[in-house]
Every structure is written in structure tokens, then in C-alpha cells.
């Protein structure tokens, strides 16, 4: 791809964010595969991050997403205490139209060609069954089915970790680690969001939801009739009396339009890259909205898939994911001490761990 824009190349090489170590453009004409594998850092160990299958508007957009997501994985893995760097892959196309066994096998060969520098797993548009297929061509695959030696669906612990982040936010802001009596809005109740709703309802929260898929909303309402659904995310962020807003769909949910409209006092959700651009974290802070950094609170899934590489133990993983509560509180404390937004404090802590690892290397 010779027409990658200067902006994408800047993202690849910019030194202030540590740069990216490697980007691989993958094409298999026979299967129709077009993919990007981005490795941001291996300072802490092999890069670990999922494979997103998505109909990007352009190849440039796909590369940019892979770069941003892989950098986020470096920070997520660092603060989760994992011995893994950050990587991410994206497959370009509509998975409902072009995903085939042949394509996934071709992708697996590209993953394998990196010799373990990148370990893949599920993400938006890919599932456990897909990882089973990819694993037929590469050993560097996690998030597989229990029948194939894997841990299965990682969304369970992702949701659990987000819930721990919410509890920490409640502790920091309201003095008690519970959402009981609070109104929580969840935007996106698919893979992760529907598990999060279960935790919130059990904890005594009042829950408001929205999702672009009607069947996802219906599944929640059938299980929890007391939950209220609204038309879209725009309506959700403007819901009166909302205490917590949980973006659990795609990234960029916090932007110049949504932040001024938010009624919630806390933002804590499962989506990756929630801040649309640098400076949004300051806009949230200026409005007095507490932001729990996405890559901190949604690390439960990567904790699970990393554990699978060593022989999966659910209780061990859940115990690690429970520490997201303490990590989130530590970030809020660091933010207050340094006089910076929580997102900046989280970045500093992650960068410190990676720098120490490079220094010891």
C-alpha cells in the first residue's frame, strides 16, 4: 500500500508515544484476505492483542485503527501486570459477507510468520470459533474454545473488570464501592455489555441501555424487565439523573459533541479508545466528570487470554481481574497528586513500567 497518508505514518513513528516496532500488511488474493498486524511494543514480552474484523472505509483507516489499538494494548497489558507488550490486528471487510475458513487459515499463516512476536485473540467481529480455525495454522493464538485447549469467551471477565472499575469510581467519588441506588447507562449490550448489565442489576443499580441491534436490547429486557431502553447513544448520554455512563461499543464515544451533553458524573465502560482525540480527557475533567481510563478497566479479557497461554484457570484469572479495582483507585490517587486527568496518570504509570522493562533489557 503506497498511498498511506502522512498522518498514519506519523502515528507509526512518532517518538512521543514510543513509536511502533513493526507493522505487517497482509494479503492473500485467493481467500480475499486483507489485514494489518501492528506491534507497538515488546518491551514487556510478546505483543498480545485481538483481531478486529471490520468493514473499514479505507485501507488507511484500517492501518490507523490498528496503530491506535496496538498502542492501547501496550498500556493495557502494562497496567494489568502482564508480561506482554501491545499488538493488534485488523481484517478489512464485512465479516458477515467475506469471513471464511480459508480466509482465517490464511490469516493464521501470517500470524505464525511472526514467530511469536504477536499473539492474537478475539475482538470485534471475531469469535472463539474463529480463533480455533486460526490456531490450526499458528500456535500463537489464544481465546480458543475449551474443546481446543482454550479458555473460551473472554467477555465474561472483561465485564467483570469494568464492573470493578465502576466500583472503584463509586468509592472515589461517593465513598462506597457499590452502584446500588445509582443510575447507570450502558451503550452497547452485546458481547461484554450484557454481562455488565447482569453485574449492575445484581448490585442494585438502575440501568438504562441502548444498542444498534434490536435483538441485543430484547435479550436484556427479557432477562431484566426493570431495565429501561432508549433509542440511541445520543438519548442515553442526555438521560436525566444518570450517574455513570458506560460506553461498551466501538471507540470514539467521547468527543466534542458528546462530552458537553453528558449528564453522568462518571464515565467507565468497556469500549477501546473512548477518547476521540487528545484533549477530551481534559474536557471531561473540566466538567467535573470522573473518567476511568478504558484500557485499565476493560483489561479482564486480556488477563484471561494471557492466562490461557499458561494453562487456563478461571479462579486465578478472576482474582487478577479483581485487582482492577485497586489499580483504578491508584490511578485516581496519582491523578490527584499530579494534578492531571486520570487518563494522563494511567499513561504515566504504564510508560513507567515499560521504561523500566526496557532499562532492564
The total of other beta-carbon atoms located within 10 Å of residue 223's CB is 12
Cβ-count burial of 230 within 10 angstroms (0-12 exposed, 13-18 middle, 19+ buried)?
middle
Cα separation, 173 vs 205, whole angstroms: 16
88 has catalytic annotation: yes
Q: Pairing mode, if any, of strands 118-119 and 33-41?
A: unpaired
- Catalytic residue, candidates 34, 88, 99, 320: 88
Grid cell, residue 172, equals: 472515589
β-pairing verdict for 228-229 and 290-291: unpaired
Please give the distance of CA 55 from its chain centroid, rounded to a whole number: 18
Whole-angstrom CA distances from 206 to 240, 241, 259, 299 are 13, 11, 22, 25
Question: Burial code of 22-56, b = ≥16 C-beta within 10 A, e = fewer?
Answer: bbbebebeebbbbbbbbbbbbbbebbbbbbbbbeb
CB 105 within 8 A of CB 134: yes
| Beta carbons within 8 Å of 39's beta carbon, 6+ residues apart | 20, 21, 22, 23, 24, 47, 70, 85, 86, 87, 114, 117, 118
Phi, psi dihedrals of residue 300, rounded to the nearest 5°: -60, -40
Could you tell me whether strands 266-267 and 290-291 are parallel, antiparallel, or unpaired per DSSP bridges?
Answer: parallel
> Among residues 108, 126, 105, 265, which one has the least CA distance to residue 185?
265
C-alpha distances (whole Å) from 175 to each of 202, 234, 288, 289 are 20, 29, 16, 16
Catalytic residue IDs? 88
Amino acid at each position: 500500500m503506497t498511498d498511506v497518508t502522512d498522518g498514519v505514518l506519523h502515528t507509526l513513528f512518532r517518538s512521543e508515544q514510543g513509536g511502533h516496532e513493526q507493522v505487517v500488511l497482509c494479503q492473500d488474493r485467493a481467500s480475499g484476505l486483507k489485514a494489518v498486524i501492528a506491534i507497538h511494543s515488546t518491551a514487556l514480552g510478546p505483543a498480545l492483542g485481538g483481531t478486529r474484523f471490520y468493514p473499514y472505509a479505507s485501507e488507511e483507516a484500517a492501518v490507523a485503527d490498528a496503530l491506535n489499538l496496538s498502542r492501547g494494548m501496550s498500556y493495557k497489558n502494562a497496567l494489568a501486570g502482564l508480561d506482554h507488550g501491545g499488538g493488534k490486528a485488523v481484517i478489512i471487510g464485512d465479516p458477515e459477507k467475506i469471513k471464511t475458513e480459508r480466509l482465517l487459515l490464511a490469516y493464521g499463516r501470517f500470524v505464525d510468520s511472526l514467530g511469536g512476536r504477536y499473539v492474537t485473540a478475539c475482538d470485534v467481529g471475531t469469535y472463539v470459533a474463529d480463533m480455533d480455525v486460526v490456531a490450526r495454522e499458528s500456535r500463537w493464538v489464544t481465546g480458543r474454545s475449551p474443546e481446543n485447549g482454550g479458555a473460551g469467551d473472554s467477555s465474561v471477565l472483561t465485564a467483570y473488570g469494568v464492573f470493578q472499575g465502576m466500583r472503584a469510581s463509586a468509592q472515589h467519588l461517593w465513598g462506597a464501592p457499590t452502584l446500588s441506588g445509582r443510575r447507570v447507562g450502558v451503550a452497547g449490550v452485546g458481547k461484554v455489555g450484557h454481562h455488565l448489565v447482569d453485574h449492575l442489576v445484581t448490585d442494585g443499580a438502575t440501568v438504562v441501555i441502548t444498542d444498534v441491534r434490536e435483538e441485543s436490547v430484547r435479550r436484556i429486557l427479557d432477562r431484566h424487565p426493570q431495565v429501561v431502553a432508549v433509542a440511541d447513544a445520543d438519548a442515553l448520554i442526555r438521560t436525566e439523573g444518570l450517574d455513570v455512563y458506560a460506553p461498551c461499543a466501538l471507540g470514539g464515544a467521547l468527543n466534542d459533541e458528546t462530552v458537553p451533553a453528558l449528564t453522568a458524573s462518571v464515565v467507565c465502560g468497556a469500549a477501546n479508545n473512548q477518547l476521540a482525540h487528545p484533549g477530551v480527557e481534559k474536557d471531561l475533567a473540566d466538567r467535573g466528570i470522573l473518567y476511568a481510563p478504558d484500557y485499565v478497566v476493560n483489561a479482564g479479557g486480556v488477563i484471561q487470554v494471557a492466562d490461557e497461554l499458561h494453562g487456563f484457570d478461571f479462579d486465578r484469572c478472576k482474582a487478577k481481574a479483581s485487582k482492577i479495582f485497586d489499580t483504578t483507585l491508584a490511578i485516581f490517587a496519582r491523578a490527584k497528586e499530579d494534578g492531571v486527568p486520570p487518563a494522563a496518570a494511567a499513561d504515566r504509570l504504564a510508560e513507567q513500567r515499560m521504561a523500566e522493562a526496557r532499562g532492564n533489557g
